[in-house]
Chains A and B, each alone.
Chain A
Amino acid sequence: MDDTLNISGLSDDEEHLTSSQVLQQLEEIWMNERLSPNLMVCRSDITDCILEQIQEMEENISKAQKNELKVSLHQLEVDRIRYMLSSYLRCRLEKIEKYASSLIKEAADGDQSRLSPEEYTFARELTSGVEAHLMSSALRLMPKNLQSLNLQEYAPSLDRYVFLRVNSPEEGVIVDEETDQNNGDKIDFEVGAQHIMRYKPIEHFVESGVVSLL
């Protein structure tokens, strides 16, 4: 029984992270993804690793006796992790559906880290499907000069405000480069401090883990 459910041997994977550390990372990217206006960079390294562990655990559970306390606790944990993982992936999917065209354009322009290959295929098929549908059901009946379709306009607004907490110090962060009254307003990030500000100036800090969204 002990041996079948022992997963501590997984700590020697390539990155030398323990499964609990990977789980913490998953929670971090889950929260950030739920709270950021834009689609975050795809982290299939984390999701794949977690999925593998869940599957291994589920295999062990199916082999073990159902009515034992230990087994049901393991099942409970797997359910919790699965919930978090699905919520994360669902959240990404929602954003991809919403901003498919502009994400594809971004990928075509060179930045391909945001979408995983599968997500890219999904976004491309969705966009061509929507375009074909709009064309066949409505646009073709319109006058020629009104037939152009620009789905790329639906881009995420990076001007939205977010709440954040600072994880590692950073000096001279520009708060607002656009509005005239706060021209070049700068602040320093202290560890543990919490701020409310626009997403755009701090987007790269969220990706690099300098700040977490709240």
Chain B
Amino acid sequence: MEHSELEFSAEKQKLKIVPNFSMDKIYFISGDVGPFKAGLPIDVPLWLAISLRQRQKCVIHPPDWLNVATLQEIKESEMAAELFTKLPNEHFREISQLLLTHAKHNMHHADAIRTLVKDIWDIRAAKLRSSIDKFVHVQASHARIDNITRMEINLARPFLLDSLNHLHSLRRSKSL
């Protein structure tokens, strides 16, 4: 999987925007959106929000977890926990990245948020590496990987799956 494909898949998630125009309901194939009333918040898919933002037609309200206080809490519990904690959104990285790129000016303390998102990502990536090391070491043929997001799996996929496939064929040739 490409990272961009995961980003694409994250863009269907809904979030709040405040449009600065009024328009009737739009009947999309993916579902109805609207009606839009200038100044009234409304839920739209992320791809629509970004597109409207690029046309200067709305203000994006970041999801309630994308702020300094909540991210600080997440970071602390992630550091304290031995296993992976459950992130507020399964597209945590993609959504924060997209919003930091396209709606930076609609966020308070965007730079602090960016740093925190990166910190959380790094802590989890370190956990991911050490658990992969453990997993390969004990030669298990199955592992439970709750709460790891698709993006993190995508990061580990190429080398992890290749090495597991090699180990599997080596084990098999030994047992023959």
A182 at the interface (CB under 8 A from B): yes
A195 at the interface (CB under 8 A from B): yes
Tell me the minimal C-beta distance from B142 to chain A in angstroms. 4
A139 at the interface (CB under 8 A from B): no
Residues of A contacting B146 in the complex (Cβ-Cβ under 8 angstroms): 192-194
B51-62 contact mask (Cβ, 8 Å, vs A): 1 or 0: 100010100000
A32 and B9 alpha carbons, distance in the complex (Å): 13
Is A198's CB under 8 angstroms from B168's CB? yes
Residues of B contacting A81 in the complex (Cβ-Cβ under 8 angstroms): 29-30
**CB within 8 Å of B: which of A124-172?**
157, 159-163
B164 at the interface (CB under 8 A from A): yes
Is A70's CB under 8 angstroms from B23's CB? yes
Is A76's CB under 8 angstroms from B51's CB? yes
| Contact of A54 (CB < 8 Å), options: B29, B55, B169 | B29
A172 and B153 alpha carbons, distance in the complex (Å): 25
A162 and B168 alpha carbons, distance in the complex (Å): 13
Tell me the minimal C-beta distance from A162 to chain B in angstroms. 8
**Known contacts A69-B23, A214-B153; 13 further A-B pairs (Cβ under 8 A):** A19-B31, A23-B29, A57-B29, A69-B21, A73-B28, A76-B48, A80-B47, A161-B160, A180-B175, A193-B144, A194-B145, A195-B145, A198-B141
Q: Which of A4-12, A40-48, A98-106, A107-115 lies at the binding interface?
A: A4-12
A176 and B141 alpha carbons, distance in the complex (Å): 7
Interface residues of B (CB under 8 A from A): 1, 5, 8-9, 11-12, 21, 23-32, 47-48, 51, 55, 57, 135, 139, 141-148, 150, 153, 157, 160-161, 164-165, 168-169, 171-172, 175
Is A53's CB under 8 angstroms from B29's CB? yes
Is B157's CB under 8 angstroms from A76's CB? no
20 contacts between A and B (CB under 8 A): A19-B31, A20-B30, A54-B29, A69-B55, A70-B26, A74-B26, A77-B29, A81-B29, A159-B169, A159-B172, A161-B168, A162-B161, A179-B141, A179-B175, A180-B175, A192-B146, A196-B145, A197-B142, A197-B143, A198-B168
| Contact of B165 (CB < 8 Å), options: A34, A70, A83, A161 | A161
Tell me the minimal C-beta distance from B132 to chain A in angstroms. 10
A70 and B139 alpha carbons, distance in the complex (Å): 55
Residues of A contacting B168 in the complex (Cβ-Cβ under 8 angstroms): 159, 161, 179, 198
Tell me the minimal C-beta distance from A51 to chain B in angstroms. 11
Tell me the minimal C-beta distance from B35 to chain A in angstroms. 11
Is B153's CB under 8 angstroms from A163's CB? yes
Residues of B contacting A34 in the complex (Cβ-Cβ under 8 angstroms): 1, 5
Is B165's CB under 8 angstroms from A159's CB? yes
Residues of B contacting A19 in the complex (Cβ-Cβ under 8 angstroms): 29-31
A93 at the interface (CB under 8 A from B): no
A76 and B44 alpha carbons, distance in the complex (Å): 14
A197 and B135 alpha carbons, distance in the complex (Å): 12
* CB-based closest 7 A-B pairs: A20-B31, A175-B142, A176-B141, A161-B164, A197-B142, A194-B145, A196-B143
Residues of B contacting A6 in the complex (Cβ-Cβ under 8 angstroms): 27
A54 and B147 alpha carbons, distance in the complex (Å): 35
A50 and B29 alpha carbons, distance in the complex (Å): 9
Residue of B nearest to A19 (CB): B29
Residues of B contacting A161 in the complex (Cβ-Cβ under 8 angstroms): 160-161, 164-165, 168
Tell me the minimal C-beta distance from B95 to chain A in angstroms. 17
The winner among A2, A87, A163 for most chain B CB atoms within 10 A is A163
**CB within 8 Å of B: which of A15-69?**
18-20, 23, 27, 31, 34-35, 50, 53-54, 57, 69
